[in-house]
Amino acid sequence: MRILTTLIAVTAASPAFAASGPFFSLGNTNFVVTLAFLLFILVLFYFKVPGLIGGMLDKRADDIKSEIDEARALREEAQSLLADYERKQKEVQAQADRIVATAKKDASAAADQAKEDLKASIARRLAAAEDQIASAEAAAIKEVRDQAIAVAVAAARDVITAQMTAKSGNDLIADAIAEVETKLH
The whole-angstrom separation of Cα 15 and Cα 30 is 7
What number of CA atoms fall less than 13 Å from residue 64's CA on the CB side?
A: 6
Is pLDDT of 21 > 70?
A: no
Phi, psi of 25 (to 5 degrees): -135, 150
Would you say 31 and 24 are in contact if contact means Cβ atoms under 8 Å apart? yes
pLDDT at 6: 59
- pTM of the entire structure? 0.39
The whole-angstrom separation of Cα 145 and Cα 152 is 10
Would you say 50 and 44 are in contact if contact means Cβ atoms under 8 Å apart? yes
Which tens digit of pLDDT belongs to each residue from 101-151?
999 999 999 999 999 999 999 999 999 999 999 999 999 998 898 888 888
* Structural domain spans, the chain: 1-47, 151-184
